[in-house]
Amino acid sequence: MDFLAEVAAWFTDSASWSGRDAISARVGEHLALSGVSLLAGLAIALPLGLFIGHTRRWAGAVVAITNVGRAVPSVGILGLALPITLQLGWGIGVPPTLLALTVLAIPPIVLNAYVGIRDVEPELVEAARGMGMREAQVLRRLELPIALPVILAGVRTASIQVIATATLGAILSTGGLGRYIVDGFARQDYPRMFGGALLVMTLALTSEVLFALAQRAAVSPGLRGAPDRLSETRAGLAV
């Protein structure tokens, strides 16, 4: 139990809470990196997914890209972002990490938005059109509310992906909680490494729980008790 006592000591040491490497600062950096990329990814992916789901255009291409995307190592996307930002003169660290995280967030959100809208019963869409709704109204007032839990499942996958890869950003000299793991490993300061890993794990599991609750709350009241449609779409994306 000596080791765990050292980990506890790292957490309680006042030096761990001051300066650039303070736990509070690193948590803040991690949340900022993840939050900004998730929002940027959402801004790109959600309109795209809704458009594809409503019009059924480019659906094959989206599924194909998502499948290939699963095969690209997330550390490879970080790696590929690096020469791009260097070429553009944006440098190392935060810019390539933000670029990579945003790219990673897009496929699961597009895929789930597409699948969620696609799986809305066609009779309902017909009925809405029969009632005189325009296409934009059909999307906003019928398809979007029904598809919302599935869309949130996509954001949930993207969030886990982004939190995990933000940790890997440490190898591009980015801040965030990955610093403790990479630096702790390099200096054989295992209590620091373990403490950082605990913080990352807590962040990832918190994201899971919050999105699970949001998904449940987002099920339209008229559809409660309907068969679970989420299980299929949360297909695997590990990081």
Partner 1 sequence: MTDGAPFFRLDWVVDNLDMLAQRTGEHVVLTLIGVGFGILIAFPVTLLIHRRRRLIGPVLGVAGILYAIPSLALFGLLIPVTGIGLVTAEIALVSYTLLILIRNGLAGLDGVAPEIVEAATGMGHTRIQRLWRVQLPLAVPVIIAGLRIATVTTIGLVAVTALIGQGGLGFVIITIGINRFFPTAILVGVGLSILLAVLADRGLVLAERALTPWARAGSGEG
Q: How many residues does the chain have?
A: 239
Q: Which of residues 145-204 bind partner 1 (CB under 8 A)?
A: 160, 163-165, 167-168, 170-172, 178, 180-182, 184-185, 190, 193-194, 196-198, 200-201, 204
User: Which residues are within 8 A (CB) of 23 and not within 5 positions of it... i.e. 6 or more apart?
Assistant: 11, 16, 17, 199
Complex with partner 1: residue 135 or 232, whichever CB lies closer: 232
Q: What are phi and psi of 55, to 5 degrees?
A: -95, -15
Note whether 89 binds partner 1 by CB under 8 A. Answer: no
Q: Which of residues 105-124 bind partner 1 (CB under 8 A)?
A: none
Cα dihedral value 144, 147, 152, 158, nearest 10 = -100
Does residue 147 contact residue 53 with C-beta atoms inside 8 Å?
Answer: yes
Query: How many angstroms separate the CA atoms of 202 and 217, rounded?
Result: 22
Note whether 104 binds partner 1 by CB under 8 A. Answer: no
Note whether 217 binds partner 1 by CB under 8 A. Answer: no
Query: 165, 29, 183: which is closest to 99 by C-alpha?
Result: 165
- To partner 1, the closest distance from the beta carbon of 56 in angstroms equals 22
How many residues contact partner 1, by CB under 8 A? 48
Please report where in the chains the tokens 């403490």 appear, as a residue.
Answer: 195
- To partner 1, the closest distance from the beta carbon of 43 in angstroms equals 24
Complex with partner 1: residue 102 or 174, whichever CB lies closer: 174
- Considering only 19, 89, 222, 236, the residue that binds partner 1 (CB under 8 A) is 236
- To partner 1, the closest distance from the beta carbon of 221 in angstroms equals 25
Does residue 146 contact residue 223 with C-beta atoms inside 8 Å?
Answer: yes
- Considering only 23, 42, 52, 78, the residue that binds partner 1 (CB under 8 A) is 78
